[in-house]
Amino acid sequence: MSKKFWETLPQGSVVLEAGSSAKFKTGTWRSVRPKWIEENCIQCLFCWMYCPDMSVKVNAEGKREDFNYDYCKGCGICALECPGKKGKKAIVMEEEGK
Amino acid sequence: MGKIVAVTGNEACAQALKQINPDVCAAYPITPATDLMQRFSGFVSDGKVDTELVLVESEHSAMSACIGAAAAGGRVATATSSQGLALMWEMLYIAAGTRLPIIMPLVNRALSAPLNIHGDHSDGMGARDTGWIQLYSENAQEAYDNTIQAFRIAEHLDIRLPAMVCMDGFIVSHSIERVEYIDDADVKNFVGKFQAVHPLLDLDNPKSYGPLILTDLYHEYKRAQHEVMTKVPKVVLEVASDFEKMTGRKYGLFETYRLEDAEIAVVVMSSAAGTTKDIIDQYRDKGVKAGLLKPRMFRPFPYLEIADALKHLKAIAVLDRADSFGGYGPLFMEISSAVMSMDTKPAMINKIFGLGGRDYLPDQAEQVLDELVKVAKTGKVQTVKEYIGVRE
Ligand code: SF4
Ligand code: SF4
C-alpha cells in the first residue's frame, strides 16, 4: 500500500538535509532595504557579525561586498551598528520601492 | 530472582533509574519528587551510574536540557511534581512533538493556589494533552515496574514518544512498602541498548531540530503524531507480556478487580484503588456485586477496551483525584467518552476526592458504593458530579 503524504514526513519534524535553509529566501519579507555606501565603509565587519541572517557578503579576502538581498529581511540592525567613517554611516535604510 | 526490599516509591523509582543507567538526567528539585532525584544524584556521586547529571535552575531548563540531550542521541530521564511540571508545560509539547523518548517519573501533587505539597492528580491531568504517554501506578512496586517498562515503550522504534510514570505524592512516594527488585542484569537486558534516531551528534549527517512549520505542513505533522499514539497500546501490551515473563507480574492497559460478574463498579486510579478493593471485598461478602477498574495507561486512553470491560454494568462511579473546574472530573470525561460507544449505557456518577492529599478513607468508598447500589436499583442519577470527603 502506498503511503499517505503525512506518513512520509521525517519523524519529529527533523530536517535531515543540512543547509537547506539556503533554499528559503526571506528577502520578500523586506519593506525597508539597507544600502551600502562603500566610501564610508571602514571594513570593520560589524554588519556581517550582527546580521541575524546571511545577507552581508564577505569575499575570499575577508572584505565586505554588497548585500545579498535574497535573504535580507530589512531588520536594520546592520545600519544601527555600523560605525561608518567620520560620523557618516556606511549603511542607510531606505524604503522599498522608492 | 530479584531481591525483596522495604522501600518508598521514590526510592524504588531511583533504583529503576540506577539500573537503567541513562546517559543524561537534568533535574530540579521539587517536593515530593525531590527525594527521588536526590537519591539518584547520590548514585551519580558514588560512581554507581555513568549518567551525566545536569543541575539546572528551573524545571523549564530541566526539560529543555533533557530535550537537547535526547536530540543529541542520549537515553534521558528526569523527575518532577506539580508546579515543576507546570513550569515545564511549554517544553512538554516540544519533547512530544519532536518525538524524543524522555522518561519522567511524575510524583503527583496538587497545584497552587492555595499552595499545597500533597498528592493529587491535578498536575498529571493538566499535562494529558501534551502528547506524552502516561502510566499511573497504585503502589511503589507498580511505580518501579512502570518506570522500567516505560523505557521500552517510549524507545520502541514505532513509538519514540516521551512517557510519564505517575505515582501519588507522599502516599506512595514517601511510604515504605514491600517491593521486589529485579536483578541489575535482567533490567539491563530487558530495556536493551539505546538506539538513537537522527542523533544530532552524528556529525557526518548534519541535521536541524525544531524548525518553523506553518500552515503548509503543521496539520500533517499533528496527524502523524496522532497516528503514533494509536500504536502505543499494542506496544504497552507487548512490553507487559515480556515483563510478565521476566517477573511473573502482570500488567495491562488497565486492571480489573472482581469486575467480570459485577453490577456496579468504581473506576479509580493510583493508590485509592487499593483502599477501594478492600471495601469491594466487604460488599461482596454482603452479597453486593461490586467491582473495580483501575486505568493504568491514561494517555493514550484505551476507550474501546475499557468500554468492553464496563459494558455489562448497571451503574459506575468514577472517582477523580483532580477537578476540571466548570467541567466534570478528567477521568469521568474519558469514561463517559468510552461509554458513548455502548448500546445500553450504565448510569454514571462522578466523585471528586482526595484533593491536596486529603485522605481517601474506607467510609468514602462505602458512601460511593451505597449510592451506586441505589442508582443501579432506580436507574436514576441525582447529581452527576459531587465532592466527597469534604468537611461540612
Ligand atoms: S537589514 Fe538586517 S537582515 Fe538585512 S543585512 Fe542588515 S542586518 Fe542583515
Ligand atoms: S559595519 Fe559599516 S563600516 Fe563596518 S563593514 Fe559594515 S558597512 Fe562597513
Nearest to A21 by CA among B192, B212, B180, B101: B212
Q: Which residues of B touch A6 (CB under 8 A)?
A: 220-221, 223-224, 227
Instruction: Enumerate residues lining ligand 2, CB below 6 A.
Output: A 36, 41-47, 64, 82-84, 90-91
**Looking at residues B347-374, what average pLDDT do you find?**
98
- Whether B259 shows a pLDDT value over 90: the answer reads yes
Quickly list DSSP for B96-149.
HHTT---EEEEEE-PPSSSP--S--SHHHHHTTTSS-EEEE-SSHHHHHHHHHH
Nearest CA to ligand 1 atom 4: A72
- Whether B244 shows a pLDDT value over 80: the answer reads yes
Distance separating alpha carbons of residues B353 and B357, to the nearest angstrom? 9
Contact B77, B20 (CB under 8 A): yes
**Looking at residues B319-327, what average pLDDT do you find?**
98
Q: What is the pLDDT of residues B291-310, one digit of tens each?
A: 999 999 999 999 999 999 99
Residue B92, φ and ψ in degrees, nearest 5: -60, -45
The alpha carbon of residue B58 is apart from the nearest alpha carbon of chain A, in Å, by 25
Contact B343, B314 (CB under 8 A): no
pLDDT value at residue B196: 97
The alpha carbon of residue B92 is apart from the nearest alpha carbon of chain A, in Å, by 13
Give pTM, 2 decimals. Answer: 0.93
- Whether A97 shows a pLDDT value over 90: the answer reads no
Instruction: Find the DSSP H helices in B264-361.
Output: 272-285, 303-310, 330-339
Residues of chain B contacting A, Cβ within 8 Å: 97-100, 160, 197-198, 205-211, 213, 217, 220-221, 223-224, 227
Contact A11 B197 (CB under 8 A): yes
Q: What is the pLDDT of residues B265-298, one digit of tens each?
A: 999 999 999 999 999 999 999 999 999 999 999 9
CATH for A25-95, options being 3.10.20.340, 3.20.20.70, 3.30.70.20, 3.40.50.410: 3.30.70.20
**Looking at residues B189-197, what average pLDDT do you find?**
98
For the record, the C-alpha cell of B49 comes out as 551510574
Burial class, B175, CB count within 10 angstroms (exposed 0-12 / middle 13-18 / buried 19+): middle
Contact A6 B206 (CB under 8 A): no
Look at residue B165 and give its three-state secondary structure. strand
Contact B280, B258 (CB under 8 A): yes
Contact B33, B104 (CB under 8 A): no
Nearest CA to ligand 2 atom 8: A41
Nearest CA in chain A to B212: A13
The alpha carbon of residue B371 is apart from the nearest alpha carbon of chain A, in Å, by 48
Nearest to B26 by CA among B80, B101, B89: B80
Q: What is the pLDDT of residues B147-168, one digit of tens each?
A: 999 999 999 999 999 999 999 9
Interface pTM, i.e. ipTM = 0.87
Q: What is the pLDDT of residues A50-86, one digit of tens each?
A: 999 999 999 999 999 999 999 999 999 999 999 999 9
Contact B99 A15 (CB under 8 A): no
**Looking at residues B205-211, what average pLDDT do you find?**
95
| Ligand nearest, relative to CA of residue A81 | 2
pLDDT value at residue B368: 98
Dihedral of CA atoms B316, B321, B324, B330 in degrees, nearest 10, equals: -50
Tell whether A14 is within 8 A of chain B (Cβ). Answer: yes
pLDDT value at residue B2: 87
pLDDT value at residue A98: 75
Nearest CA in chain B to A10: B221
Interface test with chain A among B221, B226, B227, by most A beta carbons within 10 Å: B221
Tell whether A23 is within 8 A of chain B (Cβ). Answer: no
Contact A14 B98 (CB under 8 A): yes
- Whether B1 shows a pLDDT value over 80: the answer reads no
Q: What is the pLDDT of residues B84-139, one digit of tens each?
A: 999 999 999 999 999 999 999 999 999 999 999 999 999 999 999 999 999 999 99
Nearest CA to ligand 2 atom 3: A41
Work out the percent of chain B whose per-residue pLDDT is above 70. 100
**Average pLDDT of chain B?**
97
Contact B220 A14 (CB under 8 A): no
Domains, chain B, in order of start with CATH, read 3-247 (3.40.50.970), 254-387 (3.40.50.920)
**Looking at residues A27-49, what average pLDDT do you find?**
97
